[in-house]
A and B are shown apart, each in its own frame.
Chain A
Amino acid sequence: MFAYIVRRVLATIPVMAIVALFVFSLLYIAPGDPAAVIAGDQATPADVERIRASLGLDRPYLVRFGAWLWDILRGDLGTSIFTNLPVATMIRQRIEPTLSLMIVTLILAVSIAVPMGVVAAWRQGTWIDRAVMGFAVLGFSVPVFVVGYVLAYIFALELDWLPVQGYTPFSRGFFPWMENLILPAVALGSVYIALIARITRATMLEVLQQDYIRTAKAKGVGQRSILFVHALKNAAVPIVTVIGIGMALLIGGAVVTESVFAIPGLGRLTVDAILRRDYPVIQGVVLLFSFIYVLVNLAIDLAYTLFDPRIRY
């Protein structure tokens, strides 16, 4: 197992290298010029060139890529063209809100969606099953930003229970932190809950048809034990896979959710950087997201062994 983990961690290196090459090349060929954005309309072409040179954007592709890669290998993500702040500092400033949002959403989604899916499968064909599936369809169909606006309208503007926007760091207390995260997490989690609930239901329906479930029932095992110990554990592998895949959904959804709730996270940092063509920031954030995604996939693969002892690495 340990050797497998080491191999997988080492395997992230070529993956990250390919991502780095891809991101850098994509930005290189993408239209847009930060020097023109900075220079403004009053600038002469010579001014724009001078700014481009001062930013090192006039150097050939290979030279720029080589310099960037060398910096990355030394642990330096570079400096933002616009803010003059190190990219690592900007990421550090923004990572807590995004991680907080993703963790709270993940906990919320799994703790709601899995029981929902289990109950829907158990009560297949009843009004409970239809209600759960109806909710799932709604969760898939309604965009995250619409859910966000509706929640903010009801719980912030009308009831005045929660703030409309912003983020309070965890260091200022659990409740203030949570106060700012409840609405965004519910909004972001809606589609995630729908996804996990549907997969849980479908997998559970399949497992509940198995012979060993019938045997357990014949032996007089309680309903709760059958559902959550025998069936759910055997249905867990596809559910865990979907939870892992859904992390990409969360990362993408966080961009929208952070904008709707004015949460200063990595999603907004990425969008701002793309709009301004702040290349070092875009490259740094995309690399980080890729790394997180690779690690999540590794964690999911390792989790399989917990649910299915037949899986060995």
Chain B
Amino acid sequence: MAIMKVSRRSALLLAGGALAAPRIADAQANARTLRFVPQANLSNIDPVWSTAVVVRNHGLMIYDTLYGLGADFRPRPQMAAGHEITEEGRRWTITLRPGLRFHDGAPVTARDCVASIQRWAKRDVLGQRLDGLMDGIAALDDSRFEIRLKKAWPGLAFALGKPSANICAIMPERVARTDPFTQITDYTGSGPFRFRQDLFRPGDRMIYERFAGYAPRSEPADFLAGGKQVHFDRVEWIVMPDPSTASAALQNNEVDWWETPLPDLLPLLRRNREIQTDLVNTAGNLGVLRFNFLQPPFDNPAIRRAVLPAVDQRAFMNAAIGTDPALSTIPAGVFTPGTPLANDEGLSVLSGPRDLEAARRALREAGYRGERVVLLSATDLPVLQNLAEVAADMLRRIGFNVDLQAMDWGTHIQRRTNRGPVDAGGWSAFCTTWEGLDVSVPGSHMPIRGNGTNAWAGWPTLPRLEELREAWFEATDLAAEQAIAREIQRVTWQEVPFIPLGQVLPLMAYRRSITGVVKGGPALFWGVRRA
């Protein structure tokens, strides 16, 4: 029997190699893993049940959609190969791309799409419109299904590919049969990433793995459309509630990408050569001052209009996100600046010289009698708190009797459902932000809704705005949509259901080793790779 001689030197080398092997393996695994700090904890995982932005972002990872918006905000087929519109726009026949698979390996069929659309249509604002218009939906065969409408709706593809919550996520039929008001428990997806439900630790870590069976489109990635090519085997969402900790972790190379760095930490991050700060979500968020139409004093349109000359969008934006002008856009009108429907109709009411005296005069002439104005402020969300502080100061300076009430977001959400007078726990106004993607088109723009008790908190009854929204759904081209958007903006300055406070453009921060970040909206995980 041959005996292999091992020298001391070889033994040392061998031992060193054995010790180093796990570290090398770790490093290789890390290179294929993207470590991401999301904006908030992913507390639930059903993008149809929940409207939370972080849940939508999760949904975009594990589910695909029939259509996807390009960077120009126009819908393009995604899971759909294409569609045919017949019967004067009342019948859509949608054909699926071949080779689509769910994460359990089963093929995506037309029946899955039908069930998914039906569930989504009960919850989403555009889905509900589809639900109202739908005359029928049925699978024709495994790869084709039809949607029959009571009247033509050119915006159907946009609705099916809408980027804001709730997205029309395509799920297996067995999952999509779940009651829309009950959470799903089976997370079998159709998107480029597979969610590791067994490793789900809410408040700590969410693990996604590349789905090898995903068939990306052949075109280059274009925001939510095109080829969703994945270059990481694993994406870890690591929840860090403390911004200073997230900042330190990014600097220390313990994470690769931080979705929402605080503006006051940006200078610190920029001093680090390994870190890049970047505007990824170009749609940002629109700041909004919302009024309660049911209670005095803002049930009076003249009083609402009186506020307009006093609104200094720069002051609101400075408070919200800091004095760096690159982090916000003013003037901002009714629609998200930089998107196709943004316009300057009557925008001088906000962009002209600010005139507190004119506001005071208008308030007196409108008949304000010193009623208490309860302004709600959510103290656990710094941007909203800062907007509310500026709004309180502005309203006081023009003569309102302001009662700024501080509370946490959970209480704020409940409080604003109270339609009663301020003495019975009601409210008069509050500040918030809307995702830029939401308020880029009338269909998902809740602050312009004028459908009374079914409208967003504030409950305005504004039939003209509802008519215009309806007209937008039926617009056949961009020029028509833009004309409607101008008219909506004009009516908004008259009725003042809300006042835009500026567009917040929060930056993201990531290590320079990360390239290919897809821009336009939330953090997306296709296209991105490690250099």
Chain A interfacial positions (CB closer than 8 Å to B): 31-33, 36-45, 47-48, 50-51, 54, 80, 82-85, 90, 93-94, 149, 152-153, 156-157, 160, 163-166, 259-262, 264, 268-269, 271-272, 274-278
B181-200 residues with Cβ-Cβ distance < 8 A to A are 181-183, 185, 200
Residues of A within 8 Å of B123, CB to CB, are 47
Residues of A within 8 Å of B200, CB to CB, are 83, 85
Instruction: Please pick, from B49, B240, B414, B456, the residue contacting A262 in the complex, using a CB distance under 8 A.
Output: B240
Is B411 an interface residue when CB atoms closer than 8 A count as contact?
A: yes
Q: Is the CB of A84 within 8 A of B51?
A: no
Cα separation A83 to B50 with both chains bound (whole Å): 11
Is B457 an interface residue when CB atoms closer than 8 A count as contact?
A: yes
Known: A40-B165, A45-B454. 11 other contacts (CB 8 A): A32-B410, A33-B417, A40-B52, A41-B446, A43-B51, A45-B417, A51-B181, A152-B245, A259-B242, A262-B245, A262-B249
Shortest CB distance B205–A (Å)? 7
Give the one of A42, A274, A277 with max B CB within 10 A. Answer: A42
B394-440 residues with Cβ-Cβ distance < 8 A to A are 407-411, 413-415, 417
Overall SS of chain B's interface: loop
Give the one of A80, A83, A261 with max B CB within 10 A. Answer: A83
Closest to B444 in A: A42
Cα separation A54 to B123 with both chains bound (whole Å): 15
Cα separation A250 to B181 with both chains bound (whole Å): 40
B212-247 residues with Cβ-Cβ distance < 8 A to A are 238-242, 244-246
Is B142 an interface residue when CB atoms closer than 8 A count as contact?
A: no
Q: Is the CB of A275 within 8 A of B380?
A: yes
What would be 13 A-B contacts, judged by CB atoms less than 8 Å apart?
A: A44-B454, A48-B417, A84-B183, A94-B204, A164-B245, A164-B248, A165-B245, A262-B239, A262-B249, A268-B241, A272-B202, A272-B203, A275-B410
Residues of B within 8 Å of A268, CB to CB, are 203-204, 241
**B150-186 toward A: CB 8 Å interface, digit per residue (1/0)?**
0000000000000001100000000000010111010
B434-490 residues with Cβ-Cβ distance < 8 A to A are 444, 446, 453-454, 456-457
Closest to B409 in A: A275
A-B residue pairs, 6 tightest by C-beta = A40-B51, A264-B204, A32-B410, A33-B414, A82-B43, A31-B411
Given contacts A32-B411, A42-B446, A164-B248, A54 and B44 within 8 Å (CB-CB): no
Residues of B within 8 Å of A36, CB to CB, are 413-414, 417
Interface size on B, residues (CB 8 A): 53
Q: Is the CB of A38 within 8 A of B248?
A: no
Give the one of A39, A45, A54, A164 with max B CB within 10 A. Answer: A164
Cα separation A268 to B245 with both chains bound (whole Å): 14
Instruction: Please pick, from B43, B246, B254, B410, the residue contacting A83 in the complex, using a CB distance under 8 A.
Output: B43
Q: Is the CB of B417 within 8 A of A42?
A: no
Is B259 an interface residue when CB atoms closer than 8 A count as contact?
A: no
Residues of A within 8 Å of B410, CB to CB, are 31-33, 37, 274-277
Q: Is the CB of A93 within 8 A of B201?
A: yes
Shortest CB distance A288–B (Å)? 16
Residues of B within 8 Å of A163, CB to CB, are 252, 254
Residues of A within 8 Å of B203, CB to CB, are 94, 264, 268-269, 272
Q: Is the CB of B248 within 8 A of A157?
A: yes
Q: Is the CB of B411 within 8 A of A50?
A: no
Closest to B407 in A: A31
Closest to A163 in B: B254
Cα separation A24 to B403 with both chains bound (whole Å): 31
Q: Is the CB of B251 within 8 A of A41?
A: no
Q: Is the CB of B413 within 8 A of A54?
A: no
Give the one of B165, B201, B453 with max A CB within 10 A. Answer: B201
Shortest CB distance A41–B (Å)? 5
Shortest CB distance A204–B (Å)? 39
Cα separation A39 to B125 with both chains bound (whole Å): 12
Cα separation A259 to B245 with both chains bound (whole Å): 8
Cα separation A275 to B377 with both chains bound (whole Å): 15
Shortest CB distance B124–A (Å)? 7
Instruction: Please pick, from A37, A84, A94, the residue contacting B413 in the complex, using a CB distance under 8 A.
Output: A37
Closest to B166 in A: A42
Q: Is the CB of B44 within 8 A of A82?
A: yes
Overall SS of chain A's interface: helix
Q: Is the CB of B453 within 8 A of A42?
A: no
Residues of A within 8 Å of B248, CB to CB, are 152-153, 156-157, 164-165
Q: Is the CB of A90 within 8 A of B52?
A: no
Cα separation A98 to B215 with both chains bound (whole Å): 43
Residues of B within 8 Å of A39, CB to CB, are 51
Residues of A within 8 Å of B252, CB to CB, are 156-157, 160, 163-164
Residues of A within 8 Å of B408, CB to CB, are 32, 275
Residues of B within 8 Å of A31, CB to CB, are 407, 410-411, 414-415
Q: Is the CB of B50 within 8 A of A40?
A: yes
Q: Is the CB of A84 within 8 A of B44?
A: yes
Q: Is the CB of A260 within 8 A of B245?
A: yes
Q: Is the CB of B413 within 8 A of A32?
A: yes
Cα separation A156 to B413 with both chains bound (whole Å): 39
Residues of A within 8 Å of B300, CB to CB, are none
Q: Is the CB of A32 within 8 A of B414?
A: yes
Shortest CB distance B247–A (Å)? 9
B506-526 residues with Cβ-Cβ distance < 8 A to A are none
Cα separation A261 to B179 with both chains bound (whole Å): 39
Cα separation A278 to B41 with both chains bound (whole Å): 13
Residues of A within 8 Å of B49, CB to CB, are 38
Given contacts A32-B414, A275-B409, A47 and B181 within 8 Å (CB-CB): yes
Shortest CB distance B57–A (Å)? 15
Residues of A within 8 Å of B249, CB to CB, are 164-166, 262
Cα separation A268 to B240 with both chains bound (whole Å): 10
Closest to A149 in B: B244
Q: Is the CB of A165 within 8 A of B240?
A: yes
Shortest CB distance B226–A (Å)? 28
Cα separation A177 to B318 with both chains bound (whole Å): 43
Closest to B123 in A: A47
Q: Is the CB of B413 within 8 A of A166?
A: no
Q: Is the CB of B242 within 8 A of A260?
A: yes
Shortest CB distance A164–B (Å)? 4
Residues of A within 8 Å of B244, CB to CB, are 149, 260
Cα separation A142 to B124 with both chains bound (whole Å): 49
Residues of B within 8 Å of A165, CB to CB, are 240, 245, 248-249, 254
Q: Is the CB of A157 within 8 A of B457?
A: no
**B31-74 toward A: CB 8 Å interface, digit per residue (1/0)?**
00000000001011100011110000000000000000000000
Cα separation A188 to B380 with both chains bound (whole Å): 24
Residues of B within 8 Å of A260, CB to CB, are 242, 244-245
Q: Is the CB of A41 within 8 A of B254?
A: no
Cα separation A85 to B197 with both chains bound (whole Å): 11
Q: Is the CB of B202 within 8 A of A85?
A: yes
Shortest CB distance A151–B (Å)? 11
Cα separation A118 to B80 with both chains bound (whole Å): 76
Given contacts A36-B417, A54-B182, A41 and B456 within 8 Å (CB-CB): yes
Give the one of A38, A166, A268 with max B CB within 10 A. Answer: A38
Shortest CB distance A265–B (Å)? 9
Closest to B201 in A: A93
Shortest CB distance A177–B (Å)? 16
**B123-158 toward A: CB 8 Å interface, digit per residue (1/0)?**
111000000000000000000000000000000000
